[in-house]
Amino acid sequence: MAKSYIVGNWKMNQNRHELNEFFGHLEKEELNPGNFWIAPQFIHIQTCIEKTNKVPLKIGAQNCSDQTSGAFTGEISPSSLADIEAHFVILGHSERRALFNESNELINSKVKAVMGNKLVPILCVGETLEQRESNETMNVVLDQVTKGLQGVKLGAEDDIIIAYEPVWAIGTGKTASPEQAEEVHAGIREKLKELYPECGENISILYGGSVKPNNIDDLIKQPNINGGLVGGASLKAEDFMALCRAIN
Ligand code: PEP
């Protein structure tokens, strides 16, 4: 069965003071270890990992290079993330695709590099408003899944997560209705079963796009929605905890 997660994407937010407050608040809470993940800015990953001795979160990155090492000024390698014991990397977020021109081919190369370093990739896919309005949602999303996973083999030890994030719902306050989201998640599930007949049923598919404490329950009631990838609502400890409780 697919596991459930809440993954917080802090984007370019949270300074040291704010993250100390966040973790301080969570120390008082009971959290199931393993299901709750946070991706801070690169510079805070190590600090957050050190805090996991008191708060059982998994810490990861919002992006990384597809290269292992060498002359790539300004890049962060998946091997260096593995070295500091990061757990996962978000790849292909719509902001990376739109603002940094990341192609499906580059994202695929990153997925392989991340898995080669025993980190868990969270592959993000999603359509723009224009694509939804011209009935291209399913084609666009399944194309991103297929190309993002091109040549990716999954062994018994390998873990991978897909996040469906309609671009028009990210940071806009407009959530896809649970039915709209489930329709796409069900399509992704079929594609995963076709690509990976042995384990496609067990790959977690998260929904992202204005997930909040007041809409999480209806979203996760859907059979193929296995939790959320959350931006804004993951910045406040109270909201993040409310989302975690819904999954717990
Ligand atoms: C995101 O950035 O992945 C996201 C879903 O953001 P928000 O929850 O703020 O819409």
pLDDT digits (tens, 9 = 90+) for 119-145: 999 999 999 999 999 999 999 999 999
Q: Is any ligand 1 atom within 6 A of the Cβ of residue 165?
A: yes
Under DSSP, is residue 73 helix (H, G, I), strand (E, B) or coil? Answer: coil
- Residue 122 dihedral angles phi and psi, to the nearest 5°: -110, 105
Nearest CA among 229, 139, 137, 209 for reference residue 168? 209
- Residue 190 dihedral angles phi and psi, to the nearest 5°: -60, -45
Instruction: Specify whether the CB–CB gap between 218 and 176 falls below 8 A.
Output: no
Which residue ranges of the chain lie beneath pLDDT 70? Answer: none
- Look up residue 23 and give its two tokens: 């973790």
- Residue 208 dihedral angles phi and psi, to the nearest 5°: -135, 145
Nearest CA among 86, 20, 3, 23 for reference residue 240? 23
The residues annotated with a catalytic role in the active site are 93, 165
Residue-level pLDDT at 191: 98
Nearest atom, ligand 1, residue 163 CA: 3
Residue-level pLDDT at 230: 98
- What span, in angstroms and rounded, lies between the C-alpha atoms of 160 and 171? 24
Residue-level pLDDT at 89: 98
- Look up residue 223 and give its two tokens: 């059979």
Q: Where are the domains of the chain?
A: 5-247
DSSP conformational letter for 233:
G
Q: Is any ligand 1 atom within 6 A of the Cβ of residue 170?
A: yes
Q: At the topology level of CATH, where does 5-247 sit?
A: TIM Barrel (3.20.20)
Nearest atom, ligand 1, residue 232 CA: 9
Q: Is any ligand 1 atom within 6 A of the Cβ of residue 8?
A: no
Nearest CA among 194, 190, 163 for reference residue 176? 163
Residue-level pLDDT at 215: 97
Residue-level pLDDT at 155: 82
What kind and span of H or E run contains 81?
helix 78-83
Nearest atom, ligand 1, residue 208 CA: 5
- What span, in angstroms and rounded, lies between the C-alpha atoms of 180 and 7? 21
Distance from residue 209's CA to the centre of ligand 1 (Å): 5
Exposure string (b/e) for 27-38, b if CB count within 10 Å is 16 or more? eeeebeeebbbb
Pocket test for ligand 1, best of 14, 225, 229, 235 (most atoms within 8 A of CB): 229
Distance from residue 172's CA to the centre of ligand 1 (Å): 9
- Look up residue 216 and give its two tokens: 């999480």
What kind and span of H or E run contains 48?
helix 42-51
- What span, in angstroms and rounded, lies between the C-alpha atoms of 123 and 37? 15
